[in-house]
Chains A and B, each alone.
Chain A
Amino acid sequence: MSATDVPRSEESDLVSRLRLGDADAANEFFDRYAARIRRFIAQSLGAEKSEADDLLQETFIALAEALPFFRGDSSLFTFACAIAHRKVLSFIRTNARRARLLRDAAISESEQRRDVGSHRDFNSALMQLSPDYREALVLKYVEEISVAEIARVLALSEHAVESRLARARKLLRKHLGESQ
């Protein structure tokens, strides 16, 4: 399911109920988006570790705090991803060395786990990209959100997102070529 599948009117109703602290709305939001936000965080970090769960928790708490200021300019998923993106950036800045080790571990882990002939090359090439590039690719091709929405998540102009995507694709091709 892509982020655009949920009608805006339905989503604004959900936001209103979340702002009132409605338990059903919290459950609905959680069931609808939590797994996707977690996947976005894990892909951005490049590791399926406890760090992703920690950052998911931080994201949800920050989201609860930020909801009163949500203007509805973007989808709720985009808003949540923007918060998650900042949490990931902050984590990477403060744990730069650790993040590098995690990334390396993720590469070797994915190489070991994936079946022969499946997406091993692709995954390891993806993990060699910087988080900025990986995030842009994941949002565009996995979460299928528009360039305008990606621009909101990454706090960039649409033109900058297009450039980043182009560079990410070029690098991905390069890494895929090297892994052959």
Chain B
Amino acid sequence: MSTNQRTTANRRLNRLLAGHTWVVYAFFYLPILVLIIFSFNESRLFGFQNWEGLSLKWYRQMFANDNLMQALRISLVVAVGSTIVSTVLGTAAALALERYRRWLGKRAFDALLYLPVIIPDVTMAAMLLVFFTSLGQQLSTVTIALSHIAFNISFVSIVVRARLANLDPALEEAAADLYASRWHAFRRVTLPLIMPGVLGGALLALTLSLDDVVITQFVKGPDTLPTFVFGLIKRSVTPEINAVSSLMLAASGVLVLGSLALQRRQ
């Protein structure tokens, strides 16, 4: 092919790809649009034939709904708590696997870390329920958090390991020469280098915890937001859920765009 032909072919390909990409984005955001629109619907029922005009009443009702607010609070508490623990544990695990060549039981641990990822949600949910109840453990916020940590350690470790594997070992060797203590070398060099991975892992853990419905449904004491919605679906769905979701969307949008802006300044 001549260069010209290749360029036009490239450009056509580019446009096709771009078009495809925008269609996919539309696919992603269409339901989001719907849920935001219906958070302003006067009628309680979903469906375009049930549009009754704009109203803020669901937002007002949402704040007044104690059960909803409590579920939201519990969701956030569990998410933040389990994310912190699983990020620390997951990062440590990743370091142990990538930076230390041999230690007792390393291969078993490597395999063990993948299990929570490959196990189906439902199975993990059932076995955790059985586990907690056989031990006579009261189901509560704690059991939810413990369950979330159980699967999040693996996800965090995968992300951090990927990051670690890509790092130039020369940098860390240099740090080891420079700094007297390993801890210093870690804190000043390795940690900043893997920080994008750690943050990525933490973000993933946060998302997985906030959105989890199957496992939480089985081991919950009080409701988290997803299980509350699940239960609400069974009674009468009110657009209060849409209101909550829209606000969460706005909040996360602000958070994320904010952190991007910060990163750019770095």
**A, B co-complexed:** no
B binding-site residues for A, Cβ under 8 Å: none
A binding-site residues for B, Cβ under 8 Å: none
